[in-house]
């Protein structure tokens, strides 16, 4: 209710003051002083003074007081004149009572309009941007890089779109698993990223409601379709490049059918692995391959060794045989004696010559001496 | 008139503002991305910027338009491609295998009048289409075997779903552009685990066969080497078996009694009789 009375007082105050700046505005300054004590104090205490030029700055309301707002348009103009230094005492106003300093207002408005025109007619478009101009909401043309001129603001509006920036969508992470089914009903964990940029900024702005989300969903769907056509071994191994090009092709096809105005630069598979749960089994296969290789290597080493040994022995026999053939009996004796020398010099020997001596061989002692020698 | 304005500046200011807003309001700006139904007291009168297929951007529909203030009201409808995203659905194939499918559909409002009458807003259209999309998907995919579910695009399954959904969407004034599957996975639990087991056993089998292959190759190499060595020996030793016997015996004695450089054999004691061939000269020649 105080609000209503305050409003009423304000309205009355407005119309009362129209009598003139020199006439007192009456007690309405005091009447509406229910709400907001601060500013209304000024209105309550002093009635508006008799002269428009004698207004000190303290008339300006310090707080949100409704009664101080009760002052009229004239009050406002008085105050603004005081702000401007009170120059034009009576001169600028001329014979226009109640409207002093009209031309300052006019100049102000004119300056504002000029600035507005300046800022909304000229547009600077960076080399990687394009400006989509819509006239009253309808698309009219696209500005290229440089300075572009359009009609001022409410008529034309320009939106600048970065068309060279290549954006990245990451799908699936290397930390968590993103599983997909392959063509042979196996499961693969895949992480990939898609690079795209805007090709037609006007289509990008006006065709799809959520272009970024759309591209992401199309990417997921395309990758799923591509993975479901290959087998697990291909996807993990050499088929990755194929999958990437297929995904890019499918995405291009779908997005062009939506008229999305984007260009897919490429798809990169960051990781294509079997899921964690079966990783050990896959490692088994690798281990088995290593083992098989090591079997073969060992066999080859054995073969080499054997062949070398055989060849060596054969060659040495051949050489000796050549010698032997030249003088068989002599060579045979010589070899015999040489071998015996070598052997008998290294062994314990006992020669029993004289007949009639009963040879007594203390076998246990001999046997005992052998282990002792062996021990040493 | 001017005197009146001068005498009551605030009132005339207010009236002026009011007139300004009214005038501005009766020339609405229709953006490229929206179409509108102009409704007079609840009755639809005309359509602004209606969607036409193959119309290029910047066509005549958008831009400045008009309406009767206070009597006519504008209902804005999005003209762009919108999407319906489905929750995960379990689909059963003909061979009783389950698959969890996550699909989405793209649609566009082509008949704004019908949409206004039936649904009033795009969210209501989405909400209405979502369960129908789910059931169409389950129906179509349920008619196929599991292996066909993995790549449904090949058999035109998604095209069937799209057509079925389109029939319903037309009643709401929308056109379904396409339906695609985002994810198709085995449900958690038994199907997933049994798939893992299958993968594991397949791998183990492969590992075993690789090892066997390796062993087989190794054996072949060894056998070949043995054969080669035997051939070499035979070629060389076979020329004079008797001499070979002697030669080999000499080698054998050396190895047995003094080792061949590898290990020292146990010490030997030899008892020689003077009749030994070695000691033949020892006894002195009885000439």
SS (H, E, C) A155-200: CEEEEEEECCCCEEEEECCCCCCCEEECCCCCEEEEEEEEEEEECC
Best residue in A288, A289, A332 for a mutation probing chain B (most B CBs within 10 Å): A288
User: CB-based contact (8 Å) between A351 and chain B?
Assistant: yes
Helix residue ranges, H only, chain A: 2-17, 28-31, 37-45, 73-83, 102-121, 201-206, 211-227, 232-236, 240-257, 279-326, 328-344, 363-375
Nearest chain B residue to A300 by CA: give it. Answer: B221
Residues within 8 A of B (CB atoms), A 172-231 only: 179-181, 183, 185-187, 202-203, 205-210, 213-214, 217-218, 220-221, 224-225, 228-229
Given an 8 Å threshold on Cβ–Cβ distance, is B203 in contact with A284? yes
Rounded to 5 degrees, what are φ and ψ at B270?
A: -115, 135
∠A362-A368-A371 over CA atoms, to 5°?
145
The 10s digit of each residue's pLDDT in A322-359 is 888 888 888 888 888 888 888 888 777 777 766 666 66
Following DSSP, what letter does each residue of B255-282 receive, concatenated?
A: HHHH-SSS-PPPP-EEEE-TTSSTTTTT
CB-based burial label for B52 (10 Å; 0-12, 13-18, 19+): exposed
The 10s digit of each residue's pLDDT in B220-274 is 999 999 999 999 999 888 888 888 888 888 888 888 877 766 666 677 777 777 7
DSSP state of B121: S
Rounded to an integer, the average pLDDT of A105-118 is 90
Residue A273 near residue A177 (C-beta atoms within 8 A) = no
Best residue in A69, A136, A231 for a mutation probing chain B (most B CBs within 10 Å): A136
Long-range contacts of A298-306 (CB under 8 A, 24+ apart): A298/B218, A299/B217, A299/B218, A299/B219, A299/B220, A299/B221, A299/B222, A299/B225, A300/B221, A302/B221, A302/B222, A302/B225, A303/B221, A303/B222, A303/B224, A303/B225, A303/B228, A304/B225, A306/B225, A306/B226, A306/B228, A306/B229
How are beta strands A179-181 and A187-198 bridged, if at all?
A: antiparallel
Following DSSP, what letter does each residue of A244-265 receive, concatenated?
A: HHHHHHHHHHHHHHTT--EEEE
Query: What is the per-residue pLDDT for A64?
Result: 43
Of A309-323, B59-73, B223-237, the range with the lowest mean pLDDT is: B59-73
Q: A100 is written with which tokens?
A: 């002093």
Query: What is the per-residue pLDDT for A310?
Result: 92
Burial B63-77 (b: 16+ CB within 10 A, else e): bebebeeeebebebb
Given an 8 Å threshold on Cβ–Cβ distance, is B196 in contact with A317? no
Query: What is the per-residue pLDDT for A39?
Result: 38
Residue B69 near residue B99 (C-beta atoms within 8 A) = no
Please give the mean pLDDT across all residues of chain B: 85
Query: What is the per-residue pLDDT for A12?
Result: 60
Residue B210 near residue A285 (C-beta atoms within 8 A) = yes
ipTM field: 0.76
How are beta strands A348-351 and B269-272 bridged, if at all?
A: parallel
Query: What is the per-residue pLDDT for B6?
Result: 76
Of A2-16, A134-148, B53-67, B169-183, the range with the lowest mean pLDDT is: A2-16
User: CB-based contact (8 Å) between A22 and chain B?
Assistant: no
Best residue in A303, A334, A335 for a mutation probing chain B (most B CBs within 10 Å): A303
Given an 8 Å threshold on Cβ–Cβ distance, is B196 in contact with A284? no
Which residues are CB-contacts of A95 (< 8 A; sequence separation ≥ 6)?
Answer: none
Query: What is the per-residue pLDDT for A288?
Result: 93
Rounded to an integer, the average pLDDT of B72-76 is 87
Residue whose C-alpha is closest to residue A186's, from A249, A250, A272: A272
Nearest chain B residue to A329 by CA: give it. Answer: B243
Cross-strand partners of B169: none
Listed ranges A41-45, A176-180, B280-284; the one with the highest mean pLDDT: A176-180
Distance from the Cα of B92 to chain A's closest Cα (Å) equals 16
Pick B240's closest partner by Cβ from A278, A291, A321. Answer: A321
Burial A12-36 (b: 16+ CB within 10 A, else e): bbbebbbeebeeebeebbebbbebb
Rounded to an integer, the average pLDDT of A10-33 is 48
Query: What is the per-residue pLDDT for A337?
Result: 87
Query: What is the per-residue pLDDT for A40?
Result: 41
Q: A274 is written with which tokens?
A: 């079997």
Quickly state the pLDDT bin for A76 (edges 50, 70, 90).
Answer: low
Q: Does pLDDT of A37 surpass 70?
A: no
CA dihedral A133→A138→A140→A144, nearest 10 degrees, is 20
Residues within 8 A of B (CB atoms), A 25-64 only: none
DSSP state of A122: E
Quickly state the pLDDT bin for B136 (edges 50, 70, 90).
Answer: confident
Q: Does pLDDT of A89 surpass 50?
A: no
Rounded to an integer, the average pLDDT of B86-108 is 88
DSSP state of A58: G
Distances (CA, A) of A207 to A210, A211, A214, A364, B44: 9, 8, 11, 111, 26
Residues of chain B with Cβ-Cβ distance to A346 below 8 Å are: 257-258
Which residues are CB-contacts of A119 (< 8 A; sequence separation ≥ 6)?
Answer: none
Quickly state the pLDDT bin for A300 (edges 50, 70, 90).
Answer: very high
Residues of chain A with Cβ-Cβ distance to B233 below 8 Å are: 310, 313-314
CA dihedral A83→A87→A92→A96, nearest 10 degrees, is 50
Residue A55 near residue A82 (C-beta atoms within 8 A) = yes
Three-state secondary-structure class, residue B63: strand
CB-based burial label for A189 (10 Å; 0-12, 13-18, 19+): buried
Distance CA B267, CA B259 (A): 11
Of A308-312, A349-353, B180-184, the range with the lowest mean pLDDT is: A349-353
Quickly state the pLDDT bin for A219 (edges 50, 70, 90).
Answer: very high
Given an 8 Å threshold on Cβ–Cβ distance, is A288 in contact with B80? no
Given an 8 Å threshold on Cβ–Cβ distance, is B63 in contact with A136? yes
Distance CA B149, CA B48 (A): 43
Please give the mean pLDDT across all residues of chain A: 76
Distance from the Cα of B256 to chain A's closest Cα (Å) equals 9
Q: Does pLDDT of A7 surpass 70?
A: no
Higher pLDDT, residue A78 or B149: B149
Distances (CA, A) of B244 to A152, A219, B60, B235, B250: 115, 80, 111, 12, 10
**Chain centre to alpha carbon of residue A42:** 61
Q: Does pLDDT of A55 surpass 90?
A: no
Q: Does pLDDT of B154 surpass 60?
A: yes
Helix axes A240-257, A211-227, angle to 10 degrees: 140
Distance CA A261, CA A200 (A): 5
Of A31-45, A124-138, B15-29, B76-90, the range with the lowest mean pLDDT is: A31-45
Q: Percent of chain B scored above 70 by pLDDT?
A: 94
Helix axes B122-141, B157-171, angle to 10 degrees: 150
Query: What is the per-residue pLDDT for B59?
Result: 75
Q: B276 is written with which tokens?
A: 């030994």
Given an 8 Å threshold on Cβ–Cβ distance, is B81 in contact with A185? no
Rounded to an integer, the average pLDDT of B269-281 is 74
Best residue in B188, B199, B256 for a mutation probing chain A (most A CBs within 10 Å): B199
Of A138-147, B6-15, B274-283, the range with the lowest mean pLDDT is: B274-283
Distance from the Cα of A16 to chain B's closest Cα (Å) equals 11
Best residue in A134, A259, A349, A352 for a mutation probing chain B (most B CBs within 10 Å): A134
How are beta strands A262-273 and B174-185 bridged, if at all?
A: unpaired
DSSP state of B81: B
**Chain centre to alpha carbon of residue B43:** 50
Residues of chain A with Cβ-Cβ distance to B237 below 8 Å are: 314, 317
Distances (CA, A) of B222 to A297, A302, A303, B211: 11, 7, 6, 17
């Amino acid at each position: 209710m105080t609000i209503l009375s305050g409003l009423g007082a304000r309205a009355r105050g407005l119309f009362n003051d129209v009598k003139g700046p020199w006439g007192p505005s009456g007690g309405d300054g005091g009447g509406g002083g229910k709400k907001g004590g601060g500013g209304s104090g000024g209105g309550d205490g002093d009635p508006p003074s008799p002269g428009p030029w004698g207004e000190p700055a303290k008339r300006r309301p310090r707080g949100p007081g409704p009664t101080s707002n009760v002052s009229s348009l004239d009050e406002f103009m008085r105050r603004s004149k005081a702000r401007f230094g009170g120059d034009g005492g009576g001169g600028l106003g001329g014979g226009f009572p109640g409207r002093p300093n009209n031309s300052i207002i006019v100049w102000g408005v004119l300056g504002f309009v000029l600035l507005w025109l300046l800022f909304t007619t000229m547009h600077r478009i960076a080399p990687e941007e394009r400006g989509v101009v819509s006239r009253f909401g309808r698309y009219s043309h696209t500005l290229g890089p440089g300075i572009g001129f359009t009609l001022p603001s409410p008529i034309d509006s320009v939106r600048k779109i970065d068309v060279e920036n290549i954006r990245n969508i990451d799908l699936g992470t290397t930390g968590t698993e993103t599983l997909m089914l392959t063509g042979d009903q196996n499961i693969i964990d895949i992480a990939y990223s898609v690079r795209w940029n805007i090709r037609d900024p006007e289509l990008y702005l006006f065709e799809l409601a959520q272009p970024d989300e759309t591209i992401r969903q199309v990417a997921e769907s395309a990758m799923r379709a591509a993975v479901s056509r290959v087998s697990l071994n291909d996807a993990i191994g050499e088929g990755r490049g194929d999958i990437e090009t297929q995904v890019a092709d499918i995405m291009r096809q779908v997005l062009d059918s939506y008229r999305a105005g984007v260009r897919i630069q490429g798809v990169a598979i960051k990781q294509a692995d079997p899921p964690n749960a079966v990783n050990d089994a896959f490692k088994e296969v690798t281990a088995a391959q290593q083992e098989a290789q090591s079997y073969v290597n060992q066999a080859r080493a054995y073969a080499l060794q054997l062949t070398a040994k055989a060849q060596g022995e054969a060659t040495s026999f051949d050489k000796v045989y050549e010698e032997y053939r030249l003088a068989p009996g002599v060579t045979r004796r010589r070899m015999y004696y040489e071998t015996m020398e070598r052997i008998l010099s290294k062994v314990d020997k006992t020669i029993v010559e004289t007949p009639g001596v009963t040879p007594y061989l203390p076998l246990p002692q001999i046997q005992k001496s052998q282990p002792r020698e062996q021990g040493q | 008139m001017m005197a009146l304005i001068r005498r009551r500046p605030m009132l005339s200011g207010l009236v002026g503002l009011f007139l300004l807003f009214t005038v501005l309001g009766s020339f609405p700006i229709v953006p490229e991305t929206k179409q509108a139904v102009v409704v007079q007291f609840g009755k639809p009168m005309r359509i602004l910027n209606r969607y036409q297929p193959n119309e290029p951007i910047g066509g005549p529909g958008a831009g400045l338009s008009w309406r009767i203030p206070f009597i006519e009201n504008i209902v804005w409808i999005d003209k762009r491609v919108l999407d319906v995203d489905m929750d995960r659905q379990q689909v059963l194939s003909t061979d009783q295998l389950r698959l969890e499918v996550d699909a989405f559909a793209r649609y566009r409002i082509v008949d704004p009048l019908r949409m206004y009458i039936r649904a009033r807003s795009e969210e209501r259209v989405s909400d209405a289409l979502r369960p129908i999309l789910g059931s169409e998907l389950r129906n179509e995919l349920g008619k196929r075997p599991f292996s066909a579910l993995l790549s449904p695009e090949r058999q035109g399954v998604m095209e069937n779903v799209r057509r079925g959904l389109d029939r319903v969407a037309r009643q709401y004034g929308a056109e379904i552009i396409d339906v695609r599957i985002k994810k198709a996975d085995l449900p958690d639990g038994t199907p997933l685990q049994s798939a893992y087991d299958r993968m594991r056993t397949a791998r183990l089998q492969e590992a075993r066969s690789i090892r066997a292959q390796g062993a087989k190759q190794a054996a072949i190499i060894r056998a070949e080497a043995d054969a080669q060595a035997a051939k070499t020996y035979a070629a060389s030793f076979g020329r004079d078996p008797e001499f070979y016997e002697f030669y080999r015996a000499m080698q054998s004695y050396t190895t047995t009694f003094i080792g061949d450089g590898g290990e020292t054999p146990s010490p030997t004691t030899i008892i020689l009789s003077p009749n030994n061939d070695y000691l033949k000269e020892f006894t002195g020649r009885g000439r």
